[in-house]
Amino acid sequence: MALTEVTIRNAKPAEKDRKIFDGGGLYLLVKKNGTKLWRQKYRFAGVERLLALGIYPDVALKQAREWRDDARKLIASGQDPGTEKKLKKAALTDTFQPIALEWMEMQATPAKDSRKAALAEVTVGKALWSLNKYVFPEIGSRPIGLITAPELLRMLKKIEKLGLHETAHRARARCGQIWRYAVATGRAARDITVDLRGALAPVVSENYAAITDPRQIGALLLAIDAYNGTPGTTIALKLSPYVFVRPSELRRAEWNEFTLDRCEWRIPAERMKMSDPHIVPLSKQALALLKELNLITGRGRYLFPSLRSAERPMSDNTINAALRRLGYSTDEMTGHGFRSLASTCLNEQGWNPDWIEIQLAHGERNKVRAAYNHARYLPQRREMMQAWADYLDDLRLKKNQTSKNGIEDVLQKQVA
């Protein structure tokens, strides 16, 4: 028999909790302490479940019946009313910023039984910087389940208007990862970033400026030899073409990563872009520079410490700033350009592409090149790295011999 408001008001507590049914699974639970609670019994995926609908009289009979009918509609459409209720509750309490930081912390901490390293420290730092600067001020305090695709797009368009198109695309990708984590942990219903595919202006990929002509490489090496700067920056410049690692990997290099008697530099996975450990065979020329540097910074942690604090590495703009002082514009040469310089020349010289790709620690490894192994082709790579260093020295020597004034030409370019 259906309930009425009079029946509900007159329902008295008993020695035990009792149920008064209304129909369609809805009933009033009268507790022995006199509290009256609305409950909805239903079956989903063959399992009996229970949904709490509130306390009487806060929730009247009419409202309880409407919620019961809504629940039945959800079940008919293949959705669990209990799950939907949890998601709505989470949408009102779980805001974007704490979830994003929770996800970032997880990514920065690898599982104990996992062979996969955590995100590199520099990657985590860049991601947090982008979130703090562009994302959190706009949507950080908003419940993640209530943020809409148009709202997210407005935030990304603001980044685009600053001319930071690549940053906007990366922010969208990072938000997508955070949303998928929120879905997996029951705090969002779906990843709304998929609705933004094609909504941002495409990014035209540009390679880092690099000098690849042998004659110009010789001039660049002479310019570096003539550089008048701090010893650390000078040696970092001289070392860059010999090792051609990423600028972030060079400036953050630590002495405990080097085994000079074995002529090796082993960069740990957490400092690499692709989270794989990397071995750099050291040529005789590179070893000579490192031994010189060891007399200056060997007692500290970093090879190239900041001038302000030995506890921090040099600035990420130091190498590029030095190249600008040498007279090379951003369209001519960059710190990252030493990688393109080496890749282009080594391939032109006929060295095995697999050896080159592994030495560059590139992330795109096709099936022909098989799974990445940081020690793969190591003897061959040692030979290649020494031959490369000798080739650079030969270019420097030839350029010095063919130049009328040798170093003086370079110094004149630096002053200009």
Q: Which residues pair with 281 in a beta bridge?
A: 264
* Active site (catalytic) residues: 246, 273, 336, 339, 362, 372
Residue 137 and residue 397: Cα distance in Å, rounded?
55
Q: Which residues pair with 259 in a beta bridge?
A: 264
Q: For the segment 36-56, what is each residue's pLDDT rounded down to a tens digit?
A: 999 999 999 888 999 999 899
The candidate with the shortest Cα–Cα distance to 310, out of 257, 266, 254, is 254
Instruction: Tell how far CA 397 is from the center of its chain.
Output: 42
pLDDT grade, residue 416 (50/70/90)? very low
Residue 306 and residue 341: Cα distance in Å, rounded?
27
The candidate with the shortest Cα–Cα distance to 140, out of 128, 122, 157, is 128
Q: Which residues pair with 96 in a beta bridge?
A: none
The fold for domain 214-415 equals: hpI Integrase; Chain A (1.10.443)
Per-domain boundaries in the chain: 5-82, 94-196, 214-415
Say whether pLDDT at 414 is over 80.
no
What is residue 115's predicted lDDT score, i.e. its pLDDT? 47
| CATH, domain 94-196, list 2.60.120.560, 1.10.150.130, 3.40.30.160, 1.20.1250.20 | 1.10.150.130
Higher pLDDT, 190 or 414: 190
Find the range with the poorest average confidence among 25-29, 106-110, 216-220, 279-283. Answer: 106-110
What is residue 364's predicted lDDT score, i.e. its pLDDT? 47
The candidate with the shortest Cα–Cα distance to 147, out of 155, 322, 311, is 155
Q: For the segment 98-139, what is each residue's pLDDT rounded down to a tens digit?
A: 999 999 888 877 655 554 445 656 667 778 888 999 999 999
Q: For the segment 308-336, what is each residue's pLDDT rounded down to a tens digit?
A: 888 899 998 899 999 999 988 888 899 99
The residue-averaged pLDDT of 179-206 equals 86
A 10 A CB-CB count for 377 gives 17
Mean pLDDT of the chain, nearest integer: 86
Higher pLDDT, 205 or 218: 218
Task: For domain 5-82, give the CATH superfamily.
Answer: Integrase, DNA-binding domain (3.30.160.390)
